[in-house]
Structure 1
Amino acid sequence: MTQPTHDEAHGGSLGQRLNWLRAAVLGANDGIVSTAGLVVGVAGATDSRAALLTAGLSGLLAGSMSMAAGEYVSVSTQRDSEKAALAAERRELREQPEAELQELTDLLHDRGLSRDVAREAAVQLTERDALRAHARVELGIDPDDLTNPWHAAWASFLAFTAGALLPLSAIVLPPADWRLTVTVLSVLAALCCTGWSSARLGEAPAGRAMARNVVGGALAMAVTYAAGALLGAAGV
């Protein structure tokens, strides 16, 4: 009985690590595309390094803070829901233990155990830790590993910042004549990498994901550059 428990925990932790990694890749992708669109748009209107740096840093900070705040609110809501579900389950176990035992038996039976084995397993799980058993089998929640909003917020902040630093560096560091070319090429290369990574993590076709990423990023830069060029020509 010890080995399956270890394998289950290992599998769960692996799944969580993959989810965090996938979120980090997507956050970095957002940072690349949004910041690239911003600085390329400004580059269409002016070649001032100070203006490009100001716009890029502003976009980086605004985007990373927005991502962090949004993730914190979202995960806090999820955590509150998990706590409420656990509290309700705890109350039901206290007020109607026999009904909860039967419910756990039915759930285990639905997962493929015979009725007798499901009943015996439900009894043993209940005697060991009734709340944990119902949380995992019925609710799909690990009471010892609830989602942490601060972890999610910091992960989103750092992932977005890491992605945004690429187009920001590419637009302000090279000479003026090379800025746009270096930025476009480096952004498209980075989007190929994030598209490939997200596809591998999701076990999806890499070519299609990379193409979507590159086309979307190229379109965003083309639109913002055109808008910036029009505004610059108009003297706005």
Structure 2
Amino acid sequence: MHVRQIERHRAGRTGWLRAAVLGANDGLLSTASLVLGVAAAHGSRSSVLIAGFAALVAGAMSMAAGEYVSVHSQKDTEDADLALERTELRTNDKGEHEELAEIYVDRGLDHALAEKVADQLMAHDALGAHARDELGITPTLEARPIQAALASAASFILGAAMPLIVAALAPQASVLYAVPASSLVVLAALGALAARTGGARMAPGALRVTFWGALAMGVTAGAGALFGTIV
């Protein structure tokens, strides 16, 4: 008996991977940058930690809300398209059949085979066939706003916790060096992990995240130092 092996592709990971990586990167980078800005302005350890913790909470809520609204807007569009497709299938089944067959003709099937494929797919699941082949909506790639929001918030908190822990444990005189050094190491690891999970090359992913992270922290530390001399 032949057992069909199901291939596992990376496309199904894109939704949660994007939300998780963005959340962790934003959490680490924004919190580390804020900690450096306050420290460069000669803030006390308590000021640094309070600012960092506030950034963690506010950032996590902002990421969750933003991701939920964004992905839910996508889901609303998908639901509206599916509702329209249901109406068209109910009122114009023949036209929808021809439309589906034309899609397969455009993909390379001859007209007779395209008609047969459309017949069988619509008999099995007409809405699913049109959702997949006409609208590009599949269960693997459909919008999941709650999942995206929770993944963003949780990963933001995990990312933001690292510079806070370093700032709390490192000697105050070393915060300006310990936080960026440890943050860049973790950012590089996150970039490499995201690239590996998505099937891309690890080195460019790590380098890209590290470069922009260093730039963001450097600019924020410089702004904090400048502001500290003025105030």
- For the criterion TM > 0.5, the same-fold answer is yes
36-45 vs 137-146, which moves further:
137-146
How far does the alpha carbon of each residue in 1:75-110 deviate from its partner, in whole angstroms, 9 at most, with x for none? 111111111000100111111111110111111222
1:201, distance to aligned residue in structure 2 (A):
4.0
Distance in 1 between the 2:43 and 2:62 partners? Answer: 28
Distance in 2 between the 1:152 and 1:207 partners? Answer: 27
Query: Contact 1:28–1:159 at 8 Å: present in 2 too?
Result: yes
220-229 vs 72-81, which moves further:
220-229
Distance in 2 between the 1:121 and 1:191 partners? Answer: 48
CA RMSD of aligned residues (A): 2.3
1:143, distance to aligned residue in structure 2 (A):
6.5
Match of 1:101 in 2: 97
Query: Contact 1:135–1:143 at 8 Å: present in 2 too?
Result: no
138-147 vs 161-170, which moves further:
138-147
Query: Contact 1:32–1:167 at 8 Å: present in 2 too?
Result: yes
Is 1:41 paired with 2:37? yes
1:148, distance to aligned residue in structure 2 (A):
2.2
How far does the alpha carbon of each residue in 1:44-90 deviate from its partner, in whole angstroms, 9 at most, with x for none? 11251210111001111111111111111111111111110001001
Query: Contact 2:33–2:220 at 8 Å: present in 1 too?
Result: yes
Match of 2:175 in 1: 179
Unaligned runs of 5+ in 2: none
Unaligned runs of 5+ in 1: none
121-130 vs 146-155, which moves further:
146-155
Match of 1:82 in 2: 78
Match of 1:209 in 2: 205
Summarize the alignment of residues 1-236 of structure 1 with structure 2, pairs less than 5 Å apart: 7=6, 11=9, 14-142=10-138, 146-234=142-230, 236=231
Q: 1:143 to 1:203 in 2, by over 3 A?
A: closer
How far does the alpha carbon of each residue in 1:177-226 deviate from its partner, in whole angstroms, 9 at most, with x for none? 22222211101101111222233344444333322322221222222212
Query: Contact 1:195–1:209 at 8 Å: present in 2 too?
Result: yes
Distance in 1 between the 2:32 and 2:68 partners? Answer: 25
Query: Contact 2:52–2:164 at 8 Å: present in 1 too?
Result: yes
Tell me which stretches of 4 or more aligned residues in structure 1 moved more than 6 Å.
none
Distance in 2 between the 1:157 and 1:38 partners? Answer: 18
Percentage of matched positions with identical amino acids: 48
Distance in 2 between the 1:205 and 1:22 partners? Answer: 16
In structure 2, give the amino acid aligned to 1:22. Answer: R
3-state SS, counterpart of residue 218 of structure 2: helix
112-121 vs 34-43, which moves further:
112-121
In structure 2, give the amino acid aligned to 1:222. Answer: G
In structure 2, give the amino acid aligned to 1:105. Answer: A
Q: 1:145 to 1:212 in 2, by over 3 A?
A: closer
Query: Contact 2:42–2:228 at 8 Å: present in 1 too?
Result: yes
Q: 1:129 to 1:208 in 2, by over 3 A?
A: closer
In structure 1, give the amino acid aligned to 2:92. Answer: Q
In structure 2, give the amino acid aligned to 1:199. Answer: A
